[in-house]
Amino acid sequence: MSVLKGKKVLLGISGGIAAYKTASLVRLFIKAGAQVQVVMTPASKDFVTPLTLSALSKNPVYSTFYDKEIADTIVPNPDAKELWNNHVELGLWADLMIIAPATANTLSKMANGSCDNLLMAVYLSSKCPVYFAPAMDLDMYKHPSTLESFQKLQSFGNIMIPAESGELASGLSGEGRMAEPENIITFITLDLEAKLPLKGKTILVTAGPTYEAIDPVRFIGNHSSGQMGFDIANRAAALGAQVFLVTGPTFCKPLYPTITVYPVISAEQMYNQCHECFPKVDVAIAAAAVADYRPKHIASQKIKKAAENFSIELEKTKDILASLGASKKHQYLIGFALETENEIENAKLKLQKKNLDLIVLNSLQDEGAGFGKSTNKITFIDKNFRIEAMDLKAKTAVAIDIMDKVCAHFMTI
């Protein structure tokens, strides 16, 4: 999955011949899963039509501070309203902004705060990272005033996508050609990935239930769907981490190629796989619902329904979380506690006994929490017994809260 998926991208287009490439650029952003909103300078409409960009982005294209709303396209409507295009809202909407092509004229305006069109007003209102892709003829690109604009804009924190060398519209050949749309997408993707807060970190996540065999066809299990663990793994990967996901039987699927899945069935298999991965990770999050007991003896053949009463002798499974806590060195260890009574006290005891850094408490007393639901309601308790109760949320939002704790941990060390 691309790091651009779900991102809100504001594309500013200024009036240069390279504007014709922006149709492909919009298409590539959409293909990567981004939302795209286009703002054009009036001059750029001479090179590419707003209709084309609107059709590709599936959004209106803005180029002026206000539009006249015509109710009747045949007979002019004297009562038509003038609709203000709110440059502040556009600037605040975006997760990132890119100005491509960025002509010498537009770069100068950006560098000096000149605000004579909607695009410049949006740029000055934006709070997000701003990329710019220069496009102009060779001598213009090398001119001291242009070089000064480059330097000044980068000192503001804007990110320059260098122009490429090649044949220019003038017929000359050299530097000044706007980067190709594919290269712009690659540049932004790599830049965003490099800035992800968990880039270079490795995280172990356990998910799902375990099944403890009774005979070849029956098992002891629980109702865990694995969704919470998979949501945590997906969020960790979205933040740049390499993820080892050890999961019991589930229908859930990972969303990112940086998630390595280790499917297991039993608690014993999960124990072994976790201990194989644990020395290599920076964080471990134990979200799996591991069986506490398993049949002491597993029948080699299907048990027939013969006797009126039937008993199974159980034995304890290995405590995965406690064993990880006992062997941890640098790892940040998070466990889950599912309780039905004395929730806070039981969770604190588990936190201490298993040498955890943070515990995520679920209570079956809370409506909307527990197995098989799309929501969860949790309470965080850290090793200093600080308690933070969260509202009922979708499990994807809970995963964000959990990974925010992980990010906060790395900011303090």
Taking the CA atoms of residue 347, residue 348, residue 354 and residue 355 in that order, the dihedral angle to the nearest 10 degrees is 140
- DSSP label at residue 394: E
- Asked if residue 75 has pLDDT above 50, the reply is no
SS3 of residue 256 by DSSP: coil
Domains of the chain: 8-194 (3.40.50.1950), 202-411 (3.40.50.10300)
At 65 the pLDDT is 81
Beta bridge partners of 69: none
Q: Which of 149-163, 230-244, 302-316 has the lowest mean pLDDT?
A: 302-316
At 301 the pLDDT is 93
- Number of neighbours of residue 109 by Cβ within 10 angstroms: 22
C-alpha angle 191/197/200, rounded to 5°? Answer: 85
Q: Show the tokens assigned to 396.
A: 């994807």
Q: Looking up tokens 């998910």, which residue turns up?
A: 207
Between helix 50-57 and helix 22-31 the angle, nearest 10°, is 10
Distance of CA 233 to the CA centre of its chain: 11
Q: Show the tokens assigned to 390.
A: 């969260």
Question: Measuring CA to CA, how many Å separate 205 from each of 86, 120, 379?
Answer: 44, 45, 19
Q: What is the mean pLDDT of residues 187-204?
A: 96
- DSSP label at residue 302: P
Contact 238, 198 (CB under 8 A): no
Higher pLDDT, residue 101 or 67: 101
Longest Cα pair distance anywhere in the chain, in angstroms? 95
Choice among 105, 222, 346, 355 that is catalytic: 222
Pick from 318, 335, 337: nearest CA to 283: 335
Contact 205, 229 (CB under 8 A): yes
For residues 133 and 99, give the distance between their C-alpha atoms in angstroms, rounded to a whole number. Answer: 6
CA torsion through residues 246, 249, 250, 251, sign: positive
- Asked if residue 165 has pLDDT above 90, the reply is no
Question: Measuring CA to CA, how many Å separate 397 from each of 142, 377, 394, 403?
Answer: 49, 10, 5, 10
SS3 of residue 242 by DSSP: strand
- Asked if residue 70 has pLDDT above 90, the reply is no
> Is 77 a residue of the active site?
no
Task: List, for residues 376-389, the tens digit of each pLDDT value.
Answer: 889 999 999 999 99
For residues 222 and 176, give the distance between their C-alpha atoms in angstroms, rounded to a whole number. Answer: 63
Per residue in 367-400, is it b (16+ CB within 10 Å) or e — as a string?
eebbbebebbbbbbbbeeeeeeebeebebbbbbb
Contact 392, 375 (CB under 8 A): yes
Q: What is the mean pLDDT of residues 307-318?
A: 91
For residues 102 and 204, give the distance between their C-alpha atoms in angstroms, rounded to a whole number. Answer: 44
At 82 the pLDDT is 56
At 341 the pLDDT is 81
Task: List, for residues 200-253, the tens digit of each pLDDT value.
Answer: 999 999 999 999 999 999 999 999 999 999 999 999 999 999 999 999 999 999
For residues 177 and 169, give the distance between their C-alpha atoms in angstroms, rounded to a whole number. Answer: 9
Task: List, for residues 386-404, the tens digit of each pLDDT value.
Answer: 999 999 999 999 999 999 9
- Asked if residue 366 has pLDDT above 90, the reply is no
For residues 323 and 334, give the distance between their C-alpha atoms in angstroms, rounded to a whole number. Answer: 13
For residues 44 and 39, give the distance between their C-alpha atoms in angstroms, rounded to a whole number. Answer: 10
For residues 218 and 313, give the distance between their C-alpha atoms in angstroms, rounded to a whole number. Answer: 15
Say what the pTM is.
Answer: 0.83
Q: Show the tokens assigned to 403.
A: 């990974």
For residues 199 and 236, give the distance between their C-alpha atoms in angstroms, rounded to a whole number. Answer: 10
At 81 the pLDDT is 55
